[in-house]
A and B are shown apart, each in its own frame.
Chain A
Amino acid sequence: MIQLVNICKSFGEQAVLKGLNLEIPKGKVTVVLGQSGSGKSVLLKHMIGLLRPDSGEVVVDGTSLSTLSDHEIVPFRCRFGMLFQGAALFDSLNVFENVAFPLKEQRQLSSEEVRKIVEAKLAAVGLSGIEEKMPSELSGGMRKRVGLARAIALEPKIILYDEPTTGLDPIMTSSITQLISETQKRLKVTSVIISHDIESSFNIADKIALLHEGRILMEGSPEEVRQSKIPYVHNFINGISTGSEV
Chain B
Amino acid sequence: MKRLVERLGFWIQKIMEEFGEVLSFTASFGRWLFVPPFRWRQTMEQMEFIGIGSLPVIALTGLFTGMVFALQAHHSFRIFHAEALIGSTVGLALSREIGPVFTALMVTARAGSAMAAEIGSMKVTEQIDALESMAVSPIHYLVVPRVVAGLVMVPILYGFFLFIGVAGAYFVAVGLLGLPEAPFLSKLYYYVDMDDVIGGLMKSVFFGFLLTIISCHRGYRTSGGAQGVGLSTTRAVVISSVTVLVADYFLTSWILEFLPNF
Q: Do chains A and B touch in the complex (CB under 8 A)?
A: yes
Chain A residues at the B interface, C-beta cutoff of 8 Å? 45, 48, 50, 74-78, 80-82, 84-86, 88-91, 101-102, 105-106, 150, 154
Query: What are 22 A-B contacts with C-beta separation under 8 Å?
Result: A50-B133, A74-B135, A77-B133, A81-B133, A82-B129, A82-B130, A84-B129, A85-B126, A86-B126, A88-B125, A88-B126, A88-B127, A89-B130, A90-B130, A91-B122, A91-B125, A101-B134, A102-B134, A102-B135, A105-B135, A105-B136, A150-B134
**Least CB distance, A220 to chain B, in whole angstroms:** 29
Digitize B120-141: 1 where CB-to-A-CB distance is under 8 Å, 0 elsewhere: 0110011101101111110000
In the complex formed, the residue of B with least CB distance to A73 is: B135
Docked-complex contact A48 and B127, CB < 8 angstroms = no
Shortest B125–chain A CB gap in Å is: 6
Cβ-neighbour of B137 out of A45, A74, A106 (below 8 A): A74
Q: Give the chain A neighbours of B135 by CB distance below 8 A.
A: 74-78, 102, 105-106
Instruction: Flag if B126 contacts A84 (CB, 8 Å).
Output: yes
For A101, the closest partner residue in chain B by CB is B134
| A-chain residues with CB within 8 Å of residue B122 when the two chains form the complex | 90-91
Q: A75 vs B136: C-alpha distance in the bound complex, in angstroms?
A: 10
- Please, how many angstroms separate the alpha-carbon atoms of A88 and B129 in the complex? 8
User: In the assembled complex, which residues on chain B have CB atoms less than 8 Å from the CB atom of A76?
Assistant: 135
B130–A88 CB distance below 8 A: yes
Which residue of B is nearest A84, CB measured?
B126
Q: Whose C-beta in chain B lies nearest to the C-beta of A105?
A: B136
Residues of A within 8 A of B136 (CB): 101, 105
Are A77 and B132 in contact, CB atoms less than 8 angstroms apart? yes
Which 4 residue pairs are nearest across A and B when measured between Cβ atoms? A88-B130, A88-B126, A77-B135, A82-B133
Distance of A45 Cα from B130 Cα, bound (Å): 11
Q: Give the chain A neighbours of B134 by CB distance below 8 A.
A: 77, 101-102, 105-106, 150, 154
User: Which residue numbers of B lie inside 8 Å of A, CB to CB?
Assistant: 121-122, 125-127, 129-130, 132-137
Q: Nearest residue in B to A98 (C-beta to C-beta)? A: B130
Query: Among A74, A82, A85, A88, which residue has the most Cβ atoms of chain B within 10 A?
Result: A88
In the complex formed, the residue of A with least CB distance to B45 is: A92
Expressed in whole angstroms, the minimum distance between the Cβ of A154 and any Cβ of chain B is 8
**Distance to closest chain B CB from A60 (angstroms):** 14
Check if A86 sits within 8 Å of B133, measured CB to CB.
Answer: no
Contact partners of B130 in chain A: CB under 8 A: 82, 84, 88-90
Nearest to B136 among chain A residues (CB) is A105
Residues in B with CB closer than 8 Å to A45 are 129
Q: Is the CB of B126 within 8 A of A80?
A: no
CB distance from B41 to the nearest CB of A (A): 11
Closest beta carbon of chain A to B31's beta carbon, Å: 9
Instruction: Across the interface, name the chain B residue whose C-beta is closest to A151.
Output: B133
Which among B127, B129, B132, B133 is the interface contact of A91 at CB below 8 angstroms?
B127
With A82-B129, A84-B133 known, 4 other A-B pairs at CB within 8 A are A50-B129, A78-B135, A88-B129, A105-B136
Q: What residues on A are CB-neighbors of B133 within 8 Å?
A: 48, 50, 77, 80-82, 84
Most buried by A among B126, B130, B136: B130
Q: Chain A residues with Cβ under 8 A from B137's Cβ?
A: 74
- Rounded to whole angstroms, the CA-CA distance of A81 and B137 in the bound complex is 16
Most chain A beta-carbon neighbours within 10 Å: one of B121, B132, B134 = B134
Partner of B125, one of A74, A78, A86, A102: A86
Give bound CA distance, A78 to B136, whole Å: 10
B38 smallest CB distance to A (angstroms): 14
Residues on the B chain within 8 Å of A77, using CB: 132-135
B129 partner residues in chain A, CB cutoff 8 A: 45, 50, 82, 84, 88
How far is the CB of A41 from the nearest CB of chain B, in Å? 9
Chain A residue at smallest Cβ distance from B28: A70
B205 to chain A, nearest CB (A): 27
How far is B133's CA from A76's CA once the two chains are assembled, in angstroms? 10
Closest residue of A by beta carbon distance from B128 = A88
Chain B residues lying within 8 Å of A84, measured Cβ to Cβ, are: 126, 129-130, 133
Most buried by A among B125, B135, B137: B135
CA of A50 to CA of B132, assembled, Å = 7
Alpha-carbon gap, A105 to B132, bound state (A) = 12
